[in-house]
A and B are shown apart, each in its own frame.
Chain A
Amino acid sequence: MSLAKRIIPCLDVKDGQTVKGTNFVNLRYAGDPVELGKAYSEQNADELVFLDITASYEGRKTFTNMVQRVAAELSIPFTVGGGINELADVDTMLNAGADKVSINSAALRNPQLINEIACHFGSQVCVVAIDAKETDGHWQCYINGGRVPTDRNLFDWAREVEQRGAGEILFTSMNHDGVKHGFANEALARLADMLSIPVIASGGAGKMEDFRDVFKQGKADAALAASVFHYGEIGISQLKSYLSQEGISVRL
């Protein structure tokens, strides 16, 4: 056996509630991120990502309280992201019990933040999320939730992120996100060949075969998805049985 490929559901949280709808018939509190996280954990999700999409100060406090509850109630690793702009934010999240933090726009605005997180808390804590879009074969990085283009190229930025001490890269292809026709396997494989840190693939999951392909062709270490899990289109236990039959090492 070998290190298992990880399946990671991502939960968007606004004012303490999960945003995307859920289709869990037996779940009374699907809007509560902690209850939803627990349900995923029971289905053998390997890790969870909680993204705070609240902007307000009050919302941040609610999110921090939620992180504490997740840490108290769940026994699998979890990453938190959204609104992390400086070292103090990282400290708050780790003290609340998060295992890792994910930074995106803040890293592109201030790349030194990656070095600081790695130096103060260790590389294993630092996940750098990259949103990028391909136009005529050129992959360009975006910030502010994919609204603002930057002059950075995906592959150059990924290499810099690794050199600065990131522990993992979470790459979302904006071309594939929401389309449900599979992940950006070519770009992912190029990242995997280039980097020596794990790559989490995001954007494009629609059916179980997409997960097989992202591990086999995209050489990803982990795959992240939101809506296919939230709407119950793919069950995590069912997905993992399928991947195992396809010869992919997963935790059953």
Chain B
Amino acid sequence: MLLNYTTLEVDVAIIKYNAGNICSVANAVRRLGIEPNITDKADEISKADCVLFPGQGEAAYTMQHLRNSGLDRLIKELRQPVLGICIGMQLMCRHSEEGNTDCLGIFPADVKRFCPTLHSQKIPHMGWNSLHNLKSPLYEGVNEGDFVYFIHSFYVPQNELSVADCDYIEPFCASMHRDNYYATQFHPEKSGRVGEQIIHNFIEIARPNHD
């Protein structure tokens, strides 16, 4: 059983913007006993102990929204732990083939479109697939081969910042970590107990007085 926090212990901000699944992420944080602050206000995001950057949507459109609202600069300047989820992870890269979009450039990686080689390789990559080569505190208590829920048509190729890999059509990067920035291509908020563990681990990394 995971720790159940009291609300006062940790200030979790969820960046509110025009992307889907923000509710699902908020629900997942609530299941850990924390009421998250869903906000687009710069001062509230900046002072949070940790920041969740969820997403479901189209790269060019969501990136444009981030630029228009100034959230693009804010996200790049954050110093507390930040977790990008799905399109959140893709937008943290340099560039995406989706809509030929220049992204935030936090991770020096480029986002590609899946190219199926067999009829049975359907796009989007949707459903439960397994994680391998786990190497971050984010995956404390998660086992090699554990399954998580994916839904995406674009992917980040394997790279040196990868802290978890997955295999669909070819091996690809399922999760990245650099400095205070963490990201998952999959949806921890929809990945059952394994996903709960990962969100819990992220909050543990961020928790004040964490030793």
Q: Please judge, given known A-B contacts A2-B168, A97-B24, whether A77 and B124 are in contact too, CB under 8 Å.
A: no
Which residues of the partner chain B approach A87 to less than 8 Å between Cβ atoms? none
Interface residues of B in 119-165 (CB under 8 A from A): 119-120, 122-130, 145, 147, 149, 151
Q: What 6 A-B pairs have minimum CB-CB distances, sorted nearest first?
A: A251-B147, A4-B128, A251-B128, A1-B130, A77-B190, A3-B129
Chain B residues engaging chain A, CB cutoff 8 angstroms: 20, 23-24, 27-28, 30-31, 56-57, 119-120, 122-130, 145, 147, 149, 151, 167-168, 189-193, 195-196
Q: How far is the CB of B45 from chain A (nearest CB, A)?
A: 23
The complex places the Cα of A2 from the Cα of B168 at a distance, in Å, of: 7
The complex places the Cα of A97 from the Cα of B24 at a distance, in Å, of: 7
The complex places the Cα of A201 from the Cα of B128 at a distance, in Å, of: 17
**In contact, A124 and B151 (Cβ under 8 angstroms):** yes
**In contact, A3 and B31 (Cβ under 8 angstroms):** no
Enumerate 22 A-B pairs (CB-CB under 8 Å) in ascending A order.
A2-B129, A2-B167, A3-B125, A3-B128, A6-B127, A46-B127, A75-B189, A75-B192, A76-B149, A76-B190, A77-B149, A94-B20, A97-B24, A99-B24, A122-B20, A122-B57, A124-B126, A167-B124, A167-B126, A192-B120, A193-B119, A221-B122
Which residues of the partner chain A approach B27 to less than 8 Å between Cβ atoms? 71-72, 97
Q: How far is the CB of B200 from chain A (nearest CB, A)?
A: 12
Q: Please judge, given known A-B contacts A122-B56, A221-B127, whether A1 and B30 are in contact too, CB under 8 Å.
A: no
**In contact, A4 and B147 (Cβ under 8 angstroms):** yes
- Answer whether residue A146 sits at the interface, using C-beta atoms and an 8 A cutoff: no
The majority secondary structure among interface residues of chain B is: mixed
Q: How far is the CB of A62 from chain B (nearest CB, A)?
A: 20
**In contact, A99 and B190 (Cβ under 8 angstroms):** yes
- Answer whether residue A197 sits at the interface, using C-beta atoms and an 8 A cutoff: yes
Most B C-beta atoms less than 10 A away, residue of A77, A94, A168, A222:
A77
Chain A residues engaging chain B, CB cutoff 8 angstroms: 1-4, 6, 41, 44, 46, 71-73, 75-77, 94-95, 97, 99, 121-124, 167-168, 192-193, 196-198, 219, 221-222, 251-252
The complex places the Cα of A84 from the Cα of B130 at a distance, in Å, of: 34
Q: How far is the CB of B19 from chain A (nearest CB, A)?
A: 11
| Chain A, Cβ-Cβ closest to B58 | A122
Which residues of the partner chain B approach A76 to less than 8 Å between Cβ atoms? 149, 190-192
Which residues of the partner chain A approach B24 to less than 8 Å between Cβ atoms? 71, 97, 99
The majority secondary structure among interface residues of chain A is: loop
The complex places the Cα of A155 from the Cα of B31 at a distance, in Å, of: 43
**In contact, B125 and A73 (Cβ under 8 angstroms):** no
**In contact, B147 and A75 (Cβ under 8 angstroms):** no
The complex places the Cα of A168 from the Cα of B126 at a distance, in Å, of: 10
Q: How far is the CB of B125 from chain A (nearest CB, A)?
A: 7
The complex places the Cα of A2 from the Cα of B126 at a distance, in Å, of: 11
Q: How far is the CB of A22 from chain B (nearest CB, A)?
A: 21
**In contact, A75 and B123 (Cβ under 8 angstroms):** no
The complex places the Cα of A1 from the Cα of B128 at a distance, in Å, of: 11
Most A C-beta atoms less than 10 A away, residue of B24, B28, B145:
B24
| Chain B, Cβ-Cβ closest to A197 | B122
The complex places the Cα of A121 from the Cα of B57 at a distance, in Å, of: 9
| Chain B, Cβ-Cβ closest to A219 | B120
Most B C-beta atoms less than 10 A away, residue of A2, A44, A168, A193:
A2
Q: How far is the CB of B182 from chain A (nearest CB, A)?
A: 19
| Chain B, Cβ-Cβ closest to A77 | B190
Which residues of the partner chain A approach B145 to less than 8 Å between Cβ atoms? 1
**In contact, A4 and B123 (Cβ under 8 angstroms):** no
- In the complex, which of the residues B20, B168, B190, B195 contacts A3, with contact meaning CB atoms closer than 8 Å? B168
**In contact, A196 and B119 (Cβ under 8 angstroms):** yes
Which residues of the partner chain A approach B168 to less than 8 Å between Cβ atoms? 2-3
